[in-house]
Amino acid sequence: MTHINIPPDHPRAESLTIREKLVERHLEGIVAASGLIAHGRGEAFDYLLGEKTTRPASKAIRAAAAMLLTAENPVISVNGNTAASVAEEVVKLAEIAEAKIEVNLFYRSLERVLAIKKLLEKAGARQVLGVGKRASARIPELRSERRRVDPRGIMAADAVLVPLEDGDRTEALVRLGKKVIAVDLNPLSRTAQKATITIVDNIVRAAPRLVQAAQKLKEQGVEKCREVLLNFDNRKNLAESIALIDENLLKKFSRESTRTVSERD
Ligand code: PTJ
């Protein structure tokens, strides 16, 4: 049930609908209050990226799919925002990549973990790790609630997909020798900078593309996946995303500067 009526012809109808969905999921106890703030931060970067999946993002998506498919024990880490936005895609991707799904929260409470588990199960998940006492392992040197992980999941994983993450855990997972795939609209964040593969895209657009890429690469086989990974350079890819933001700002600035003051107001 939405709280406002979003006119379908509103120029920002799509963005407003996504916002509304997150607000609803917050009221249902799935998205943390801070998750709404995090979403606003993401929106600002999305605006600067042109609100579309860019070329570097597409390359990173393909590399991420290849990494999940070639991993021995891949895990998809799910927080409130991810569950609220792309639960179905998480389940599909897990099936294709034979990955486990684990709930891992920064603002952890049993109620939230259970609400997210329920949402994932409704989307078709058969097993959800990281619930209650099952999250009995600890990521060393990590102080936040994100340190609580499932010994059958993130702790045993060699590759972890971490959408909308905070930098600390990404760094800690990399220190443990795990490959980390981040989805983060901010290419300058610590997560984006420290991950093994960074997808600078909105999770809402990236997740269905990740499912498609994984399906296609699975059909093409493991050698193709290795080739994709060999040809991917995360630093170069991040630099391309930052350059695109620069270009968009310059374009916007030159358009704005040719408009009259009354037009701008
Ligand atoms: O559900 P919890 O308890 O685990 O909490 C989740 C949040 C997101 C609140 C928590 O992880 C957090 O505080 O994250 P940060 O440090 O605010 O980082 C979130 C990052 O995700 C920021 O860099 C945002 O730009 C980015 N982001 C926000 N919305 C999206 C996004 N990236 C991709 N797609 C989005 N829709």
CA 168 / ligand 1 centre spacing (Å): 13
Report the pLDDT value the prediction gives residue 258, as an integer from 0 to 100: 67
Decide which of 39 and 168 is more confident.
39
Cβ neighbors of 54 (< 8 A, separation 6 or more) are: 200, 201, 240, 241, 244
Token pair in block for residue 19 = 């916002």
Report the pLDDT value the prediction gives residue 263, as an integer from 0 to 100: 57
Share of the chain above pLDDT 90, in %: 86
pLDDT at 265 over 70: no
Rg (CA), the chain: 19
The pLDDT tens digits for 127-182 are 999 999 999 999 998 999 999 999 999 999 999 999 998 788 999 999 999 999 99
CA 79 / ligand 1 centre spacing (Å): 9
User: Which of 20, 52, 81 for mutating ligand 1's site (highest number of atoms within 8 Å of CB)?
Assistant: 81
Q: Is the CB of 185 under 6 A from ligand 1?
A: yes
**Phi and psi of 121, rounded to 5°?**
-65, -35
pLDDT at 56 over 60: yes
Q: Is the CB of 90 under 6 A from ligand 1?
A: no
pTM: 0.94
**Ligand 1 atom having least distance to the Cα of 34:** 9
CA 205 / ligand 1 centre spacing (Å): 15
CA 150 / ligand 1 centre spacing (Å): 21
- Sign of the Cα pseudo-torsion (9, 37, 239, 72, in order): negative
- Helix ranges (H only) for 195-260 are 203-220, 222-230, 234-257
Question: Nearest CA to 206 among 256, 236, 257, 163?
Answer: 163
CA 228 / ligand 1 centre spacing (Å): 28
Report the pLDDT value the prediction gives residue 98, as an integer from 0 to 100: 98
Q: Which residue, judged by its Cα, is nearest atom 5 of ligand 1? A: 106
**Confidence band (pLDDT; 50, 70, 90) for 13?**
confident
The Cα–Cα gap between 49 and 37 comes to: 19
**Confidence band (pLDDT; 50, 70, 90) for 234?**
very high
The Cα–Cα gap between 181 and 199 comes to: 8
Write down the mean pLDDT value for the chain: 94
